[in-house]
Amino acid sequence: MSALPVVFALTGASGAPYGIRLLQQLLAAEVPVWLIISGHGFRLLRTESEVGDIAGLREAVGAAAFDRWVTVYDDGDRGAAPASGSARTRGMVICPCSMGTLASIAAGTSRSLVERAADVTLKERRALICVTRETPLSAIHLSNMLTLTHAGAVILPAAPGFYHRPTRIEQLVDFVVARVLDQLDVPQTLVPRWGLDDDVTT
């Protein structure tokens, strides 16, 4: 696996389980992660999970793997490594990605490290995956998504499928996480691939 890190941002859109599970899977694959959590992202973690801070997230995904593979950056530090194109990465994922974060990236405001890191990712022509979670979508949301798509980002809504016949919430989460891992070219076995597995119900 490449030694280049994935920049991982977690913002305030509903969907904390997606972010926690994705981080866990990246660490299991031994992918270095540069982690940025916005203020609203921390509030989201507290609201939707039993994770209240970085220490809680470390325990949730596995302390040993977290210590080995994760570097945490303050969202207010726009001079940190993810803010520079000279700091090479394999791309960035924002999971979950709020509509406010999406709008700011589309406008190029770079008011926070999350926004600046996303701006850098686009200008350096690296993968930017925005795992959006909002419904219904307004014309403004759709316009911002189109703007980022034209700029090279991948808009990956947290919209799980059902062809694998999920029976647990964790399977719905894994469906979306698997699609994100595919976009990052990280091997995954969370969800069987349509047409390549004899039994898609397992």
Rounded CA-CA distance 66/57 in Å is 9
**Rounded to an integer, what distance in angstroms lies between the CA atom of residue 31 and that of residue 180?**
14
Residues 6+ apart with CB under 8 A from 196: none
**Cα angle vertex 42, ends 136, 32, to 5°?**
100
List domains and CATH numbers for the chain.
6-183 (3.40.50.1950)
Question: Strand ranges (DSSP E) for 61-104?
Answer: 70-74, 92-97
Instruction: Give the per-residue pLDDT at 202.
Output: 41
d(CA 172, CA 169): 5
Q: State pLDDT tens for residues 127-181.
A: 999 999 999 999 999 999 999 999 999 999 999 999 889 999 999 999 999 999 9
Element (H, E) at 51: none
Query: Mapping DSSP to helix (H, G, I), strand (E, B) and coil, where does residue 38 land?
Result: coil
The length of the chain is 202
**188 burial class (0-12, 13-18, 19+ CB within 10 angstroms)?**
middle
pLDDT tens figures, 56-96: 999 999 999 999 999 999 999 999 999 999 999 999 999 99
Worst-scoring range by mean pLDDT, 16-20, 63-67, 189-193?
Answer: 189-193
In the prediction, which pLDDT does 12 show? Answer: 94
